[in-house]
Amino acid sequence: MAINIFKKEEGKKEVVKEVIKKEAVKKQVKSLVTQIWNVLKSPSITEKAVNMTSQGNFYTFEVERTANKMQIKKAIEAKYTVDVLQVRTINIPSKKVRRGKIEGTRSGYKKAIVKLKEGQKIEVVSQ
């Protein structure tokens, strides 16, 4: 009888290990998804950006400063389900701003210019 009880406990341990592994995988997937979605801050809707969209299928986005080109590419492909051909990045520096007596700085940011495959579009809605 002792052997049968021992086998039951081993089976329980294996089930518990499988549940723990599944939970760990879920946490990893969730963290990867949040990392991808946190890369993109907002689309940049300026006159120049709109002209680039109509002329050469380029879209501009404000992105996280620490993001690299591969992360930006994966984030855009995951969010908008398009094929990205090229990513260009620009670090916009902070600038000094003065309003009367008060001086301060306008924060800098990182901008990404993304080229999509011909015939694909991203519907960008301004907020």
pLDDT digits (tens, 9 = 90+) for 37-66: 788 998 988 899 989 888 888 999 999 999
pLDDT of 124 strictly over 90 = no
Count of structural domains, the chain:
1
Q: List C-alpha distances in Å: 78 to 12, 13, 72.
A: 38, 37, 10
In a domain, 59, yes or no: yes
Helix H or strand E encompassing 47 = helix 47-56
In a domain, 9, yes or no: yes
In a domain, 126, yes or no: no
Domain residues for 89?
3-116
Q: Are 120 and 57 in contact (CB under 8 A)?
A: yes
The model's pTM: 0.69
d(CA 81, CA 59): 14
In a domain, 123, yes or no: no
Of residues 112 and 34, more confidently modeled: 112
The DSSP secondary-structure symbol of 93 reads: P
